């Protein structure tokens, strides 16, 4: 099941990249926003994600920009332990 989840995530990110690159085609410069996010939840630990006695968390960084009223995703970098 874990491999399936990774495959689905990779396909979604690849599709987001295609949409973003098409939207920004020909654009030479953009303002970049980099954000760090930590999602924390409590309950049963999820294999492959960072966890502790206090709960579980998933950390990731995103790079986005604003262009013509849209916010394309330029990068998503997960950090799991």
Would you state the pLDDT for residue 1?
Answer: 46
User: Which of left, alpha, beta for 8 (phi over 0: left; psi -120 to 50: alpha)?
Assistant: alpha
| DSSP strand pairing (73-79 vs 55-64) | antiparallel
Residues 61-74 have a mean pLDDT of: 90
| DSSP strand pairing (73-79 vs 33-41) | unpaired
pTM: 0.62
Higher pLDDT, 56 or 76: 76
Q: Using alpha carbons only, how large is the chain's radius of gyration in Å?
A: 16
56's enclosing H/E stretch is strand 55-64
69 band by pLDDT with thresholds 50, 70 and 90: very high
Q: Over the stretch 15-67, which tens digit does the pLDDT of each residue have?
A: 988 999 999 999 999 999 999 888 776 666 555 555 555 566 778 888 999 99
């Amino acid at each position: 099941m874990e491999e399936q989840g990774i495959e689905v995530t990779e396909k979604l990110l690849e599709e987001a990249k295609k949409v973003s690159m098409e939207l920004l085609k020909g654009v030479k410069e953009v303002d970049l926003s980099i954000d760090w996010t930590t999602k924390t939840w409590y309950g049963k630990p999820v294999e492959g994600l960072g966890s502790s006695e206090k709960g579980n968390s998933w950390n990731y960084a995103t790079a986005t920009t604003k262009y013509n009223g849209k916010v394309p995703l330029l990068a998503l970098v997960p950090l799991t332990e």
